[in-house]
Structure 1
Amino acid sequence: MPIDPGPRRQAEDLLRFIDASPSPWHAAATLAEWLEEAGFQCLDERQAWALEPAGRYYVLRDDSSLIAFSLGTDPLPEAGFRIVGAHTDSPGLRLKPQPAHVADAMLRLGVEVYGSPILATWTDRDLSLAGRVVLRGDSPTVCLMDFAEPLVRLPNLAIHLNREVNEAGLKLDKQTELPLLLTEVEEGLPAARQFLQLLAERLDCAEEAILSFELAVYDTQKGGFWGPQGEFIAASRLDNLASCHAALTALLAEDEAAATRVLALFDHEEIGSESFKGAASSFLGDTLMRISASLGFSAFDHQRALASSFLISADMAHAFHPNFAGAYEPEHKLIINHGPAIKVNANLRYTTEAFSQALFIGWCEAAGVPWQIYAHRGNLACGSTIGPIASAKLGVRSLDVGNPLWAMHSVRESAGSLDHAFLIQALRQFFACARIPVNG
């Protein structure tokens, strides 16, 4: 399947974004940098907001959740908000607060499982650490840190010592078999001190200045294309940085639109969103309310705006894998490079209903984008997204969509080179919609 230069460039841009974003904190920083370059102004939640007509703004909450918005030309109560939501976090491994310990002359780092990664995929990879470190000062200072080069490893046990691995599968005890190998112990130096020295050298600070840290483990292999004509991409954290990138690209594609466009990217989706900066928090509701208030609209007008609004929850979907055909609903197979999936679940693990589905089909058709419909196999538990949480809190009509993905929650996932451009086009069409049709 030949890949045209335009979609390939957008896929290349996505891979660069993922490579620059080894942790949720780095992802938000990269997004903020791109927004600044596009003329968006940073707002502080602690300050009063004075928004200008047709203004473009963004706000960060605790370094890893971000909301950006571009004010529309039409009155907010009539036009409402066009919101695309996604999440900045990905499942994986996080260092424990005191990770360093000695095991038979090896310095190991204790980790905790974050979300639900496929643990076996983390073995025998060139792993590193990235995240944020808080330094001592007149007030605590947050620094982003990325070791960049391979630093730690989780070597597999040789098959000679685990003869049943190919039949029984690789199973790792989360306490005893997941600690990462770092280096040999330096004689006479406590393990904790040795690790702190490593952090201090990277940050060019004194060991005593380090107060705390949140560090994620990540695979250092860069994203890339595969297939005879580069029709597929492979990278870490496609779930869900691909949706973040698609939504941002769609937002930046036009300088202005009739309706106010909103990009809402949350941390902590992979662990349930129950935090002060997750989708279950007040972050999105607070921001939308402050937009209305700053523009001089009343609480009643704000309710009118919400009634005229729409939310697209963008998160990756399960692509059909021919080697495991029995894992899929037979009539709902998602084919890679055949367009974004509309995700449907009768128990509303996804927010799509008939009317919102029809609207998205219309936007896809207007944009010349193919679309698919996904439903989960009936005898398997269905995952969920930020959609049900954010939609219920706001009282806004919503649907769930996502591009097909192989190996979701693996350390290295695969998707289609064309699908990313398809989703961007569909989201651009959604953002350009001046009025949302009303049902009932």
Structure 2
Amino acid sequence: MDTIQTGLFDFLEKAVSPFHSAQAGMDLLEEKGFTPLSLSHPWSLTPGKAYYIRVFGSTLLAFRIGRKPRSHLHIAAAHTDFPCLRIKPHAGIHTQNYGKLNVELYGGMIRNTWLDRPLSLAGKIVLRSDDAYNPDVRYVDARRPLLTIPHLAIHMNPSVNDGEKLNPQKDMLPLFTQFGSTPTDDSFFPEFLADEFSLPAEDILSYELTVYPAEPPCLLGRNNEFISSSRLDNQTSVYACLMGLLNGTSTDGLNLIALFDNEEVGSRSKQGAASLICPQILQRIYAALGYTESELFSDMGRGYFFSLDAAHAFHPNYPGKNDPTNISVLNGGLVLKTACSQTYAGDAEAIAIARSLCESHDIPYQFFLNRSDMRGGSTLGSLLSANMPMRTMDVGLPLLAMHSARETMGASDQEALQRLMTVFFSR
């Protein structure tokens, strides 16, 4: 593997929940000397320095202030979350002498791809402290197979290959443990959390825990031309934003990345892209540097914003699912995503700027549009640019099996996206 693939694989294995994605990003930023800031404290900022802010654990913003901070405003954004299962409170369910966990579905997952896989747990556990308004937060990752969701055997469901409909409350409950006899209560899961992560059971108040596929990413194909992994949507974009900001050589302007949680469920949360987090942070940056709100609005008007999220690749088994003239393929480079409905942000000038950056630096690119008779997805680009008016372009990597437990990308495409982000932050 080349260094870009090695770095991506390492990040994918660490980013097993939105909290861990933010933490992995923080670790990279701190290695390069970025200084942490807090939303709850005043800021003192210096041109030539770099900073980051972790927002409610699962969202991360980072920026570098140039010597001439107002020479340009460049922003890139992605999302840290992915479709998955989340553990409910009071999760333990016993059936005969089996122990299952009660879960809810997060985002638009392809349900049957999660069956018959080794699954693990990661997220945060919140403990009692002396101050009720400041509980003790622990980020945890079991890092071992713990769960599986077994299919019903074909002998008991002969029509399974004619199509199956999985009920989230009945068919998607993971098998977790087995008892010597039928238990008398359902406390086995909090007991496990206390034992597994060396926590006092009586102090566990709550948790936000993600179920994630435990298999590592891998290269595949005759010539290792593909990458197979969980969470390619959208950790590929998170990693590209981080690498672009860290490797960019710009010494002027304000260069910022915003990595939001909750995109897969609509972004309308305190840490989502539809919140005021990014506009407020920009206002605080400008105020700390002695600039006015009017000056910020002027810089937005001539700024540029890349929204990074995965794109749909041409599927060789379903050629009719694509637009006939705007087709993206694996290993064809990054994708410029457009839609006149503005579910993907962009206009003619935004496209021209993105193409010029790619062509002047030999970065391969291609276009994706949905078929006119099919509704596609949306991204955080349109939501964020509506609250923060800037010229915006949606880009990303082409994937097969988007929102599956295991997705496929081209082995060379990450380099194209990271090069674009590095060029963007090198003005």
Q: TM-score range by the shorter chain?
A: over 0.9
Letter in 2 for 1:161: M
Q: Report the identity percentage.
A: 38
Structure-to-structure mapping, 1:71-82, within 5 angstroms: 71-76=65-70, 79-82=71-74
Structure 1 vs Structure 2 CA RMSD: 1.3
Structure-to-structure mapping, 1:179-190, within 5 angstroms: 179-185=173-179, 187=181, 189-190=183-184
Q: Where does residue 225 of structure 2 map in the other structure?
A: 231
Q: Where does residue 362 of structure 1 map in the other structure?
A: 356
Q: Where does residue 54 of structure 2 map in the other structure?
A: 60
For 2:52 and 2:423, locate their aligned partners in 1 and report how far apart those are by CA, in whole Å. 22
Q: Is the CA contact 1:259–1:431 (under 8 Å) kept in the aligned structure 2?
A: no
Q: Where does residue 152 of structure 1 map in the other structure?
A: 147
2:106 to 103, 114, 123: 114
For 1:124 and 1:191, locate their aligned partners in 2 and report how far apart those are by CA, in whole Å. 27
Q: Evaluate the alpha carbon distance shift between residue 197 and residue 349 of structure 1 in structure 2; reply closer, same or farther with a 3 A threshold.
A: same
Shift of 1:255: 5.0
Q: Evaluate the alpha carbon distance shift between residue 83 and residue 126 of structure 1 in structure 2; reply closer, same or farther with a 3 A threshold.
A: same
2:417 to 406, 423, 427: 423
Q: Where does residue 263 of structure 1 map in the other structure?
A: 257
For 1:259 and 1:338, locate their aligned partners in 2 and report how far apart those are by CA, in whole Å. 32
Q: Is the CA contact 2:47–2:69 (under 8 Å) kept in the aligned structure 1?
A: no
Residue 187 of structure 2 aligns to a residue whose secondary structure is helix
Shift of 1:431: 1.7
Q: Evaluate the alpha carbon distance shift between residue 80 and residue 123 of structure 1 in structure 2; reply closer, same or farther with a 3 A threshold.
A: same
Q: Is the CA contact 1:320–1:333 (under 8 Å) kept in the aligned structure 2?
A: yes
For 2:55 and 2:300, locate their aligned partners in 1 and report how far apart those are by CA, in whole Å. 22
Q: Which runs of 4+ in 1 moved over 6 A?
A: none
Write out per-residue CA displacement over residues 143-192 of structure 1, whole angstroms, 9 at most, x where no aligned residue: 0111111101101111111111112x232111111111111236475543
1:290 to 270, 284, 290: 284
Letter in 1 for 2:359: E
Residue 248 of structure 1 aligns to a residue whose secondary structure is helix
1:346 aligns with 2:325: no
TM-score (norm 2): 0.97
1:309 to 279, 303, 314: 303
Give the gaps of 5 or more residues in structure 2: none
Q: Is the CA contact 2:249–2:426 (under 8 Å) kept in the aligned structure 1?
A: no
Write out per-residue CA displacement over residues 90-112 of structure 1, whole angstroms, 9 at most, x where no aligned residue: 01111111211111221110110
For 2:33 and 2:152, locate their aligned partners in 1 and report how far apart those are by CA, in whole Å. 52
Q: Where does residue 133 of structure 1 map in the other structure?
A: 125
Give the gaps of 5 or more residues in structure 1: 434-440
1:330 aligns with 2:308: no
Residue 192 of structure 1 aligns to a residue whose secondary structure is coil
TM-score (norm 1): 0.94
Q: Is the CA contact 2:97–2:183 (under 8 Å) kept in the aligned structure 1?
A: no
Shift of 1:298: 1.2
Shift of 1:256: 3.9
Q: Is the CA contact 2:248–2:424 (under 8 Å) kept in the aligned structure 1?
A: no
How many aligned residue pairs are there?
Answer: 424
2:294 to 300, 309, 313: 300
Q: Is the CA contact 1:82–1:262 (under 8 Å) kept in the aligned structure 2?
A: yes
Q: Where does residue 83 of structure 1 map in the other structure?
A: 75
Q: Where does residue 389 of structure 2 map in the other structure?
A: 395
